[in-house]
Structure 1
């Protein structure tokens, strides 16, 4: 596995000078509202795909998925990826924005990601225009992505974004450093469940997945991919009394589980980022879902990052790594070494990450009852 060992964010959205060190196989990110939890996940997504314009656009618009066609203009989404300048002196075209600067140690190798944004104008001439006034001037942002590998410039990519228009022919130069998949709190509602990924999940752990689905309905007997139109495969639930039922008939919890299962496969040998992991899941089911998720990530060689602002979710996650001997009632904490927690605190000119080893998280919650958020 190409683990991310350390992460440094010098500037990204509202985060400045944040250092997250000693990352583990499973990483829990907590903090208050607007502490930067989602931004940390987005920064990791960019570092994993440093010269992908398509990924940059996708990340910039990720928070707008819930409002569909009512998205803010593309150039506005992109602009707010960049930290607001703290300097009173601004050059022409700077828009008062600073560079995005990220750095990560991946499998012991240092990678740096630097992105700049400059405001410019685009002159657009309409097709078959006969007069000079058949042109319009549009605001555009020129984005330059730079990836530094071992302090050397590896790749550079430039593109201009037209106002409110998605550039055509977006491409990626080079390969991703690490495969990554982001799951937002609304993906189970806004995005289709990928049939191909579920097929691979079935092959590896179909019984485990069905066990999870039975938390929502004990009469579920299985899950199949069927194509009612003869073309597109759709997940159907095999029910004891209702024959085959489309997944869409069920509630958010089941769709969330299937979305997570699909995401694990897409992050194979890479990084899985889950924002607000508790979304759509009842607190009684959290331990079962997270226990399955951790084992699935281990099976597919995936480093896991999850954010939450729920104490119930934190307890459920920590309890996943505790082994209890039913005969002696002895508690083993050895597996807690697999999880690391980070609490983000936003300060005026810096974001602080307080690190908790797994055993410290357990002690703080079970022995002292402290709120680690």
Structure 2
């Protein structure tokens, strides 16, 4: 459980700190204020791998980085946006503190791209020629004040490679607003539940939101495994993906919570794909699953309806909710946090907090 975190010189955050995180943290703010960057920062520090930074780029649709370009251009294209105002002369730092004195941090440094070799001994008057660094970017991970774990990506044969970090990977998932949900990952997670006789409980919760669905199972269709739903009144099971994107998304979210037991699930733009009439039951399931699997949630939203339904549950469980509000001032993202009590009061008084 993350209690607090800070981001310095990371993306749009020059110096931001948040204290008072709880089980369900709702992230709000205007477009372009840094909500997604906040979630990606948490994802990066908990995942102990710089490969995650490249993955989040692709989820935003930035997949057109050609490794056939000059190496300096490749490093800039892949990593310079991680630094506030693209200032790679300053290191970026993301740190967090959790329960039981668990502290984590990642420092991102863009080193000088060239370095001078030692002067030639046979002719010291000849000025040395600079040579390029093997990798100008480095990620320094630290857990609970232990020895630093340094990871430096490399480019080999026109492909970027990552050495494996020694630090422990903490359970965390990021459900991106722009990322196509992995059908294979969803199948694998549900299969894991089924193997441990936990699928019935999952279906029970899910059917409260969509009563027409009486069962979920993995079936073979056309030689490939497919996640199917049993629908009341239909003589044959139907693939979930053919029902609606919202149903498929909710299954993936709830399955992610079961997979990341004791960890964190980050959800960008929760309301996308859902009809407003289901939002209350969705929040109920999110809270129920997060409690049962001891999972912490960070959820961004633009929707007033989504916030209003969240406030209904925050009113009954104020200590389990917090709102993280991100606003842009003078090209710098600033953060303010509201506890569950102030969140409920703001919604009831019709105070705009989005």
TM-score (normalizing by structure 1): 0.78
Correspondence for 1:40 among 35, 38, 41: 38
Do residues 116 (structure 1) and 114 (structure 2) align?
A: no
Assess if the C-alpha contact under 8 Å between 1:60 and 1:81 holds in 2: no
SS in structure 2 of the partner of residue 233 of structure 1: strand
Do residues 345 (structure 1) and 327 (structure 2) align?
A: yes
The match for 1:21 is 19
1:145 and 1:49 map into 2 onto residues whose CA distance is 12
1:162 and 1:234 map into 2 onto residues whose CA distance is 37
Assess if the C-alpha contact under 8 Å between 1:7 and 1:105 holds in 2: yes
The match for 2:137 is 143
2:336 and 2:84 map into 1 onto residues whose CA distance is 22
Tell me the alpha carbon deviations over residues 131-167 of structure 1, each in whole angstroms, 9 at most, x when there is no partner.
xxxxxxx99963211123445543111122469x543
Deviation at 1:187, TM superposition (A): 3.9
Tell me the alpha carbon deviations over residues 249-286 of structure 1, each in whole angstroms, 9 at most, x when there is no partner.
12211111111122112322100000001110111111
Pairing 1:170-319 to 2, within 5 Å after superposition: 171-176=164-169, 178-187=170-179, 192-199=184-191, 200=193, 202-214=199-211, 218=212, 220-230=213-223, 232-239=224-231, 240-319=233-312
Deviation at 1:29, TM superposition (A): 0.8
2:161 and 2:133 map into 1 onto residues whose CA distance is 17
Q: Structure 2 stretches of 5 or more lacking a match?
A: 68-73, 115-131
2:238 and 2:89 map into 1 onto residues whose CA distance is 51
Once structures 1 and 2 are overlaid, which stretch shifts more, 77-86 or 152-161?
Answer: 77-86
Assess if the C-alpha contact under 8 Å between 1:18 and 1:350 holds in 2: no
Deviation at 1:314, TM superposition (A): 0.7
Query: How many pairs align?
Result: 322
User: Residues 73 and 372 (structure 1 numbering): CA distance in 2 closer, same or farther, change over 3 Å?
Assistant: farther
1:260 and 1:346 map into 2 onto residues whose CA distance is 29
Assess if the C-alpha contact under 8 Å between 2:29 and 2:302 holds in 1: yes
The match for 2:28 is 30
Do residues 357 (structure 1) and 339 (structure 2) align?
A: yes
Correspondence for 1:101 among 58, 81, 93: 93
Correspondence for 1:58 among 36, 55, 58: 55
Assess if the C-alpha contact under 8 Å between 1:141 and 1:162 holds in 2: no
1:251 and 1:84 map into 2 onto residues whose CA distance is 40
Assess if the C-alpha contact under 8 Å between 1:54 and 1:172 holds in 2: no
User: Residues 71 and 268 (structure 1 numbering): CA distance in 2 closer, same or farther, change over 3 Å?
Assistant: farther
Deviation at 1:82, TM superposition (A): 2.6
SS in structure 1 of the partner of residue 148 of structure 2: strand
SS in structure 2 of the partner of residue 288 of structure 1: helix
Tell me the alpha carbon deviations over residues 50-85 of structure 1, each in whole angstroms, 9 at most, x when there is no partner.
3x2333332333312xx8xx6445742433223235
2:60 and 2:183 map into 1 onto residues whose CA distance is 13
Assess if the C-alpha contact under 8 Å between 2:94 and 2:107 holds in 1: yes
SS in structure 2 of the partner of residue 276 of structure 1: coil
Assess if the C-alpha contact under 8 Å between 1:343 and 1:372 holds in 2: yes
Deviation at 1:310, TM superposition (A): 1.3
Deviation at 1:349, TM superposition (A): 6.4
Assess if the C-alpha contact under 8 Å between 1:84 and 1:97 holds in 2: no
SS in structure 2 of the partner of residue 34 of structure 1: coil
The match for 1:81 is 82
SS in structure 2 of the partner of residue 227 of structure 1: strand
2:281 and 2:64 map into 1 onto residues whose CA distance is 35
